[in-house]
């Protein structure tokens, strides 16, 4: 005999859940075979079989397996703190667990447990909403390091900008007020993860922090700068990873190599506009990166007590191909060089330009004349008077002679009679 006990008052919600309870009991038939009493808590979804409690929570919301990352006893200093923020900022990974929205977010103890977990974890996701499912891409958009915890905002974070100022209004009276923050209150869909330590944050590297976050975020993928540089030639890749700027780099390459500049200026060089990106401040080395359009056209490095060094030769154009050749060469098929402005041609060394045509190179049409090697022009020889007189039809007044033919006896005339001469009639 199997007895099902449902704690709590009977309601329509409890009756509606009978079908769900029946399905759960079918899936847990092996439990019913061993126990005589199964208690189903419709409020938390927990099954109790005798003295054994069987949880129905999804495995994604269960407690995590603690990590084993060795931690030092030294306290995190200011230099390492800035290095961690710089390295972890904009880092990308994949979610190993569902991430809820909300101001509080998830809390993970270093080499410890996750809070909340189980039913509380599922309730947070149900109440606050889901920011990222398992396997979704996550981007660390903000890192805050406090005394004993590190707070990571993921995909923009859960809080709106000026969250507290949205409750402040300024006005003369109660009827005429203006809110301090005037913008569209869009709901944030980011998440938050807090990594806590016992009493202080020890000396850590970025790899150790990623290892501590491994139960929730997997960083076993390439970072954006690694994914970008792997598509480039080795020399250019080494230059970007070594934070070196080369003439011919694009703006994306410069940002990956040096980051955002401390200062930007816009100037004109004749009729050409350009931007000057300035990196560094004295007494350190100062680099002036001149950009026209999307590429670096000039690099100037100024050191204290030394003459500035200027680079203008393009060093990237020949690296963008695997064979080391330039991106655009005159020998490439379909590549033509156009000269702008009034072009002066030398008639002794340059032939005139061909007229525009819709034909392809080397295309011939059926109506085209066959051209070959030009030969000397031959004029007809002048004939003598004797040769001209002997030719038939040379004199227009002379009638042409007719060769005798085998005609009938009646046809004796060699030429037709003229119309003025009467023709005698033959006797009948």
What are the structural domains of the chain?
A: 3-56 (no CATH), 78-162+187-221 (no CATH), 226-319 (3.30.1450.10)
Burial 10-33 (b: 16+ CB within 10 A, else e): eeeeeeebeeebeebbeebeebee
pLDDT for residue 228: 75
Report the pLDDT value the prediction gives residue 41, as an integer from 0 to 100. Answer: 56
pLDDT at 23 over 60: no
Closest CA to 214 of 287, 108, 304, 320: 108
What does the pLDDT read at residue 387?
60
Give the pLDDT confidence of 403-422 residue by residue, as tens digits: 444 444 444 444 455 555 55
Q: How far apart are CA 366 and CA 250, in angstroms?
A: 49
Structure confidence by residue, pLDDT tens digits, 288-303: 999 998 899 999 999 9
pLDDT at 414: 47
Q: Is the pLDDT of residue 315 over 50?
A: yes
Local confidence band at 305 (pLDDT 50, 70, 90 cut-offs): confident
- pLDDT surpasses 70 at 139: yes
pLDDT tier at 191, thresholds 50, 70, 90 = very high
Q: Please indicate, yes or no, whether the overall pTM of this predicted structure exceeds 0.75.
A: no
- Going by C-alpha positions, the residue among 238, 245, 235 that lies closest to residue 321 is 235
Q: Specify which residues 311 forms β-bridges with.
A: 299
Tokens representing residue 205 in the block: 């590297």
Range with the largest mean pLDDT of 90-94, 223-227, 251-255, 398-402? 251-255
Taking only the tens place, the pLDDT of each residue in 317-354 is 777 654 444 444 434 444 445 555 566 666 666 666 77
In the predicted structure, residue 15 carries a pLDDT above the cut 50: no
Q: Does the pLDDT at position 36 exceed 90? A: no
Give the pLDDT of residue 407: 44
Over residues 186-207, the mean pLDDT reads 89
Closest C-alpha among 275, 239, 273, 269 to residue 254: 239
Give Cβ neighbours of residue 54 (< 8 Å, ≥ 6 apart).
Answer: 28, 31, 46, 47, 48
Q: Is the pLDDT of residue 33 over 90?
A: no
Candidate ranges 49-63, 180-194, 379-393; pick with highest mean pLDDT: 180-194
H-run or E-run covering 193: strand 191-196
The stretch 129-152 carries a mean pLDDT of 89
Least confident of 81-85, 317-321, 389-393: 389-393
Q: What is the DSSP annotation of 209-274? A: HHHHTTTTEE--S--HHHHHHTTS-HHHHHHHHTT---TT-BHHHHHHHH-S-SEEEEEEETTEEE
pLDDT (0 to 100) of residue 176: 73
At 406 the pLDDT is 46
Q: For residue 14, what pLDDT band results from cuts at 50, 70 and 90?
A: very low
Mean pLDDT for the chain overall: 74
Any idea which of 68-72, 204-208, 226-230, 242-246 has the lowest mean pLDDT? Answer: 226-230
**Whole-number Å distance between alpha carbons of 8 and 197:** 41
The CA distance from 289 to 261, in Å, is 9
Tokens (6 digits) for 405: 């033919």
Write down the pLDDT at residue 2.
42
β-bridge pairing 191-196 and 106-109: parallel
Is residue 237's pLDDT more than 70? yes
Q: What is the pLDDT of residue 100?
A: 92
């Amino acid at each position: 005999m199997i007895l099902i006990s449902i704690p709590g008052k009977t309601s329509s919600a409890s009756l509606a859940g009978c079908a769900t309870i029946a399905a759960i009991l079918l899936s847990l038939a092996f439990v019913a075979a061993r126990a005589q009493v199964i208690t189903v808590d419709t409020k938390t979804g927990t099954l109790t079989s005798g003295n054994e409690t069987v949880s129905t929570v999804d495995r994604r919301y269960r407690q995590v397996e603690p990590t084993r990352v060795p931690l030092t006893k030294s306290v995190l200093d200011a230099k390492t703190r800035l290095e961690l923020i710089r390295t972890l900022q904009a880092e990308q990974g994949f979610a190993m667990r569902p991430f809820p929205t909300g101001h509080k977010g998830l809390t993970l103890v270093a080499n410890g447990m996750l809070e909340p977990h189980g039913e509380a974890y599922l309730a947070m996701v149900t109440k606050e909403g889901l920011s990222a499912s398992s396997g979704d891409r996550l981007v660390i958009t903000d890192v805050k390091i406090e005394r004993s915890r590190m707070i990571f905002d993921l995909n923009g974070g859960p809080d709106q900008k000026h969250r507290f100022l949205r409750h402040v209004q300024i006005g003369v009276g109660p009827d005429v007020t203006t809110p301090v923050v005037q913008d569209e209150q869009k709901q944030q869909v980011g998440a938050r993860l807090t990594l806590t330590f016992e009493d202080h944050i020890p000396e850590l590297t970025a790899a150790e922090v990623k290892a501590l976050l491994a139960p929730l975020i997997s960083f076993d993928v390439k970072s954006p700068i690694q994914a970008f540089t792997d598509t480039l030639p080795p020399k250019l890749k080494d230059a970007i990873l070594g934070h070196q700027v080369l003439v011919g780099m694009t703006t994306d390459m410069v940002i990956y190599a040096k980051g955002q500049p401390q200062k930007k200026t816009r100037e004109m060089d004749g009729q050409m506009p350009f931007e000057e990106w300035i990196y560094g401040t004295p007494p350190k080395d100062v680099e002036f990166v001149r950009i026209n359009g999307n590429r670096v056209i000039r690099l100037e490095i100024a050191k204290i007590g030394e003459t500035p060094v200027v680079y203008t030769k393009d060093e990237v154009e020949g690296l963008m191909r695997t064979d080391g050749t330039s991106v655009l060469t005159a020998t490439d098929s379909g590549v033509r060089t156009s000269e702008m402005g009034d072009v002066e041609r030398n008639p002794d060394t340059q032939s005139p330009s061909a007229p525009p045509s819709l034909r392809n190179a080397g295309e011939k049409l059926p109506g085209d004349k066959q051209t070959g090697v030009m030969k000397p022009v031959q004029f007809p020889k002048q004939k003598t008077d004797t040769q001209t007189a002997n030719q038939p039809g040379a004199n227009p007044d002379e009638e042409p002679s007719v060769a005798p033919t085998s005609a009938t006896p009646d046809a004796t005339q060699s030429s037709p009679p003229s119309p003025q001469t009467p023709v005698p009639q033959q006797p009948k």
